[in-house]
Amino acid sequence: MTARLVLLGPPGAGKGTQAARLADELGIPAISTGDIFRANIKGGTELGKKVQAITASGALVPDELTNDLVRDRLAQDDAAEGFLLDGYPRNVAQVAALDEILGDRPLDLAVEITADPTVVVERLLKRAEIEGREDDTEDVIRHRLDVYAEQTAPISAVYGERGLLVQVDGIGDVDDVTARLLTAIGTAAR
Ligand code: ADP
């Protein structure tokens, strides 16, 4: 199946975990802007140096940097037949940038994983103990959730108006959530 998909949902909703599983099932690459930033920070690249302090604070990286990164990544061969974007777009301006990047081959679907804020804070704090991500401290988590509510949550309505949005409950067993997502995608994607 060719599928051009974006995965939406708050920090801690399980986007990364589910994106990897969906990409496997659907045979398309999962592209996470957060993972790309973290890899660049770890590798000490120019981009990594630019974004390190920003990501550590839980703020958004400037749109121009992020849009260029996604444009380059989507131009690679493996994304020609489809992709699953995780963590992008993250504000309404990035929605417009993605429209422009995709041109006459637009998105098929925006899939939103929904989760209660109390649950996601708990999950992120637990993950902090295991992975030690710099932006998983309680203060930064709360800031990321505020940024999500203010800048990212409005994206759902934009895709909803286009008839492209499906919402899937992210609470429950990881396998069950994957099954729900695959059903939602299978029903809605062309
Ligand atoms: P989360 O668990 O909060 O969803 P991500 O791994 O998606 O985390 O992103 C981590 C950080 O990387 C964000 O807090 C932000 O600083 C930066 N980032 C990731 N994607 C974007 C984007 N599309 N636009 C701007 N900044 C981004």
Q: Give the model confidence (pLDDT) of 35-67 as tens digits.
A: 999 999 999 999 999 999 999 999 999 999 999
Q: What are phi and psi of 167, to 5 degrees?
A: -115, 140
For residue 8, the cross-strand partners are 112
Q: Which two tokens stand for residue 14?
A: 């399980």
Per the annotation, where are the binding residues? 12-17, 33, 38, 59-61, 87-90, 94, 127, 133, 144, 172
- Residues noted as catalytic: 15, 90, 127, 133, 144
* Topology of the domain comprising 4-189: Rossmann fold (3.40.50)
| Beta strand spans in 9-138 (E) | 30-32, 82-86, 109-114
SS in 3 state form for 68-93? HHHHHHHCCHHHCCEEEEECCCCCHH
Q: If you take atom 23 of ligand 1, which residue's CA is the nearest one?
A: 88
pLDDT cut 70: percent of the chain above it? 98
Give the residue extent of every domain in the chain. Answer: 4-189
Q: What is the DSSP letter of 133?
A: -
pTM equals 0.94
Confidence band, pLDDT 50/70/90 cuts, at residue 151: very high
Q: Which two tokens stand for residue 152?
A: 């990212």
Residues with CB under 6 A from ligand 1: 11, 33-34, 37, 54-55, 58-61, 66, 87-88, 90, 94, 135, 144
- Helix (H) / strand (E) element for 56: namely helix 46-57
